[in-house]
Structure 1
Amino acid sequence: MRLVVTGREGQVARSLIERSRGRADVEVVTVGRPALFLEDPATVLPALQAAAPDMVVSAAAYTAVDKAEDEPDLAFAINAAGAGHVAAAAAVLGVPVIHLSTDYVLGGPKKGPHDETGATLPCGVYAASKLAGEEAMARANPRHVILRTAWVYSPFGKNFVRTMLKLANERDTLTVVSDQWGSPTSALDIADAILIAATAMHEGCGRDVHGLYHFAGTGETNWSGFARHILATSRKYGGPYAEVSDITTADYPTKANRPHDSRLSSAWFAGAFGWTAPHWRESSEVVVARLLNSEPLL
């Protein structure tokens, strides 16, 4: 099975490449600039067609949450229209598509864990563009799986785990928001989930598994709790450590609003595909240990 992934440098794309190594049944190929510009529909079908997919993984996105408030047209061109173009191109090629979405589309006052039946209430341009992308994806290709995930971190790129370790090298105390709740999710676990879902879709097995799913690390915490675990783990392995001081969202204003409760229930995914992510503490410890041993904290 040849998985063609949009985007080359993203956390999930890089995790998929790593998790597929040594597997004879899966080949992961990434496509990105200059062959593929999601905001340029003329590039999408040729780029995917040249990559000859058995399945497409729509992972590339505009992810600058605050900057999106100043660049709504670009955010929608990539996250909404671009996702639709990817799905349509996959349909033309006769292949399914797995699309990554976000907890940000939920928003609102409802407390989690959120399942797939809950109402959406995007809380900013980025969130609205991602919700529009889900809708465009579903319209353009009925053979789709949409995975909403949350609080993604990995050994790659910029993310909360790497930021906490970097800041702990520079400061004795870090202030971290304590009134936003979620389910931290390793991109390595997301890659495993995608490979499991892709295999089920490819093999069929007489089941229709297409649709929308939530997928996140098991368990829940707030940002300051996540930070404390990261730093305690770092200290355990001889890495940098800092104390964490709780603040509220109001103490740390941002241009775009963030969901106050992003906890996701992955029960539907577990029921459909027979797999649940490890607890977030376990997966984040793996990433912290790996970063301290082998990855520069850039």
Structure 2
Amino acid sequence: MSDRLSIRLAAGSGPTFGVDDLSCAAATLLGCWEDEGLDVTWTPVHGGVAAMQAVLDDVVDVSYGGLGPVLKFRSEGQPVRVIVSMARGLAQNLVTQKRITDPEQLRGCSWALDGFGALSHHMARLLVAALNIDENEIDWQAVGPPPERIDRLLADTIDVSLIRVEEAISLNHDESNNLHNLLGFADLKKLVPVQPHGVLGTTEAYENDHPEELVRLTRGMIKASRALHEDFSNFKKVYDHYVTVPVPDEDVRKIWQQEHDTAGFAVNGELTHGHWRDEMDLFYKLNPDLPRVTREDVIAENFVADALAAIGVVSGEDAPE
């Protein structure tokens, strides 16, 4: 590898990583970015909106966050672009107080979010729509990353929140709390089959001025996703290093199998036309007042294309058409 380069990333997941964010964590721990000659530094922020704003403020070079904030900022005229997807969906459960036993009872409930417009809000809005509940019937509250949302759930100062699947499992194993999974991973997949997910995004200026950094970033990201998809031992190594909530080993295996079997890892960088058409259609249905941008406006396709030309395409739902 030629001279080493550096890049600054904002993590919308905050100071912790979960299964949803594990490809980014894997790219670091498994040396995928290091092997590309790329030195990555992380800045934790609260939510994808804050991550994208950190890019615009030149605090960092690239954001990790949900696809929603990138679409929103671009629709509002900001020169931001998606570089690569780091997942194809979410690994979450809907956790509620035990007194809530039916989705119909979500009407009028308080719902903890990472932040307004962030990934947790995007998915929650899609879920509420799928349940035929008006958004105005929910008391949305911006609380912060998963640890803060869990604290509020445990204190019974919030009724419901989407929580990372491993955290939901841990809460379920703790019989001392009054929480339960109202809707699990499979339930959410049925209700919201096309789910928002994490992407890496940057500005047009950085894209134009630092293409080599983004080429290396993209190759490393895809290699990390493949490592997690192809080998449970890689997943377990990264999981054990970054995820601190106590979960039995057999459940960790089930989490990986779930992600593997539902094509949750973006093994080809997930920029396929059908997937993104569906994602953008759903986003603008939720946000009809935003001017719609085109795929070409918001996605910098060349970095994934160049990465796949170099490392090859593998079989998967995100293989290029």
TM-score (norm 2): 0.30
Higher-helix-fraction structure: 2
TM-score (norm 1): 0.32
Larger RCO (CA under 8 A, 6+ residues apart):
2
